[in-house]
Amino acid sequence: MEVMVPQRFNRSTMYELLEAVIDEDLKPKAEEITFNFRKLKFIEPAGVTILGNLFEWLNKNGVTCDKILPRSIDGRDAVRYLDDSLFFEQYFGEKLREQAGLRPTTIPLNLVSYANSYQFLRGRFAFWLANRLDVTVESVKNITVSMEEIFNNIRDHAQENTGCIFAQHYPNKDGENTVHITISDFGVGIPHNIQKEYPSMDDGEALNMAITAGFSTRSTPRNRGVGLATLVDNVVKDLGGEVYIHSNHGILTCKAGNTDSDVEYNVSPSYYPGTLIQMKLKADNIENIISDEEDFGEWD
């Protein structure tokens, strides 16, 4: 079976691709799937994460994946971007170009298990983020704590206890200094477990419940009971950033308002088989904290 990767691939255009390969019972539609990248001209960090998560899920389900590429990738920035993100090396065993290499503004596409998430976030990710923003590791601690809670959530709601993560720093995107971080898993989704306790809730309402302080459907060894509420506190309330969550049919968007966070949630006709969390950090709002105990190790 051949499927076409959309011309512009991001969280808004992903549904056509996902629905082409995953059926309503969360099963692959074919044992062999060829992805055609010839139309792809633009891809966002969220698109890289979604593709990586999709390929990981297909591999776990025994699907053989192949690819069709443009006749030449010269001038094909989106395909080169995927190559530099190490997507093709990770899922097809080799880069498209010998000179393909990680861009300093990105951390490569990573599949991170719950068991290894603490080490990855406190180590490689924290050092990369601090290095990009020219601040101490202590300065980004609240960000890493927020992401630890996301992996606690993955452990509670996903099937594989793993999540795909990709991040990019934009020093001047639309006049702002921002970092875009996307984490995704394929599983039962956040609403599934919440609706066991609150069966009358729709998927959007369930996501709103998930970001409520003190709410948790399960207790994990490292979970302090703060759940995804800490994500909103640290990214939106403290830093003026944004959080977007799509899980099953629920979509929640949280942005900084004049006095508090503006939260919008709804039920979408489009289905995401698991959870997609996207964060936009306002980098200039991160205070540089100098600590006597600061570890100036190397992130790579």
pLDDT tens, residue by residue, 79-131:
999 999 999 999 999 999 999 998 999 998 998 988 899 999 999 999 999 99
**Do 82 and 199 reside in the same domain of the chain?**
no
Residue 296 lies in a domain: no
Nearest Cα neighbor of 211 from 278, 282, 263 is 263
pLDDT top residue among 157 and 205? 205
- Return the pLDDT at 217: 58
What's the mean pLDDT when you consider all of the chain?
Answer: 89
CA distances from 10 to 78, 145, 194, 246, 278 (A): 12, 26, 27, 13, 11
Domain count, the chain: 2
**Do 75 and 125 reside in the same domain of the chain?**
no
pLDDT tens, residue by residue, 217-235:
554 444 444 578 999 999 9
| pLDDT band, very low/low/confident/very high, at 169 (cuts 50, 70, 90) | very high
Looking at residue 185, its amino acid is: D
Residue 295 lies in a domain: no
- For 241, the domain range is 107-285
**Do 77 and 205 reside in the same domain of the chain?**
no
Residue 220 lies in a domain: yes
Residue 297 lies in a domain: no
The DSSP annotation for 191-221 comes to: HHHHHHH-TT--HHHHHHHHTSTT--SS--T
The pLDDT of residue 298 is above 70 = no
**Do 279 and 223 reside in the same domain of the chain?**
yes
- Return the pLDDT at 223: 44
**Do 93 and 163 reside in the same domain of the chain?**
no
State pTM to two decimals. Answer: 0.88
Last residue of a domain, one of 61, 78, 101: 101
Read off the DSSP letter of residue 269.
Answer: E
